[in-house]
Structure 1
Amino acid sequence: MGTLQVGDKAPDFTLPDQSGQRVALSDFLGEKVVVLYFYPKDNTRGCTAEACSFRDSYESFTDAGAVVIGVSSDSVASHEKFAGRHELPFTLLSDAGRAVRKQYGAATLGGVVPGRITYVIDREGVIRHAFSSMTNIGGHIDDALAVVKQLQAAQ
């Protein structure tokens, strides 16, 4: 499956978070904009930088009516340690079988390294922004926040 595009309906899913609670995309629809970001692995340099950047901008996202959700194939226990170590205030979901990653087309590079892609999903479940870059960590946060603020202003 190819990467989802702006205007596509975001597929619903349910995955366990860092405390083992089941979280579904549909839990937020109608109420919040969802910033859904797929990342390769907990506690790696780039992924830690990205998570900490989302953490540092978290209040701006929540003030604009959004939730931030990170997804990787790491275990619930790994996410719990990662979130605790870096004081991450947002949800991390364990996609152990990579089924959701495949649904969203957040492909692997060279078939080995999981891709890094951020989606902004509006309250109706439509993808309003997609940003894919392994190296431009700041672009994920800055672009997503700009789109969230535009969606808030339009509401």
Structure 2
Amino acid sequence: MPAPHAHLADAFAQLPPNLPAPVDDGAARHLPGTRLPAVVLPSTAGPAVDLSTLDRAVVFVYPMTGTPGVPLPDGWDAFPGARGCTAEVCSMRDHLAELRDAGAGEVLGLSGQAAADQRAAAERLHVPYPLLSDAEGRATRMLRLPTFELGGRTYLRRLTLVVRDGVVSHVFHPVFPPGTHADEVLAWLRTHEDAAAGPPSA
């Protein structure tokens, strides 16, 4: 299915070849079965979102969307799993209706970027779903989300949470390649939708 907003994607949506793939080091294995905390995060789609109120949702976590005209941090492309946030955001955008039809409920993106940066990305990429800002790291700490260090800064590692009744039912980690991750989530939802409301799976 061709991307309806392909002409709007900026240069960061095009991924370079031979990106290193991240490996599963077990850093997200504690998340299935975890109840989302009562943390309120700024949202690009209106009022702030209390994570504990999410009922049926897909929350994809990513390091940082690039900004046109601003160089990426040194070593970004060489760090496994860092590059591809814009491609992932656009992929979720282009498959949003299908994800909702498959039972995703809400679709939300979450990163440690400032709320202003999230708003700029949402406007530039025409993102119709909320992008949440955890710039203060409250959700990161309470959920013990995996992170990485690069250039003296801390970034969230890429993963996706399937949430049912406020509890993490399934975790995708690692996520690669990010530009087709929406297809992966969609395939899982279509196969596991009944099970998603039941016991958590790794």
Q: Quick check: TM above 0.5?
A: yes
Say which is worse superposed, 61-70 or 88-97, in terms of deviation. Answer: 61-70
CA 1:71–1:128: 2 relative to 1, 3 Å: same
Q: 1:40 to 1:105 in 2, by over 3 A?
A: same
1:145 aligns with 2:186: yes
Q: 1:77 aligns with which of 104, 107, 116?
A: 116
TM-score, normalization by structure 1:
0.81
Structure 1 consecutive aligned stretches of length 4 or more whose deviation exceeds 4 Å: 152-155
**Corresponding residue number in structure 1 for 2:16:** none
Query: Which has the larger Rg?
Result: 2
CA contact (8 A) 1:17 1:23 kept: yes
Alpha-carbon distance between aligned partners in 2 of 1:23 and 1:46, rounded to the nearest angstrom: 25
Question: Which has more helix, going by share of residues?
Answer: 1
Give the Cα separation in 2 of the matches to 1:154 and 1:73.
27
Closer, same or farther: CA 58–138 of 1 in aligned 2, 3 Å: same
Structure 2 distance, partners of 1:120, 1:94, is: 18
**Number of residue pairs matched?**
150
What TM-score results when the alignment is normalised by the length of structure 2? 0.64
1:50 has 2:88 as partner: yes
What secondary structure sits across from 2:84 in the alignment?
helix
The answer for unaligned runs of 5 or more in structure 1 is none
Identity over aligned pairs, percent: 35
- Two-structure CA RMSD over aligned residues (Å): 2.5
* Equivalent residue, structure 2, for 1:133: 174
Q: Which runs of 5+ in 2 are unaligned?
A: 1-26, 68-82, 198-202
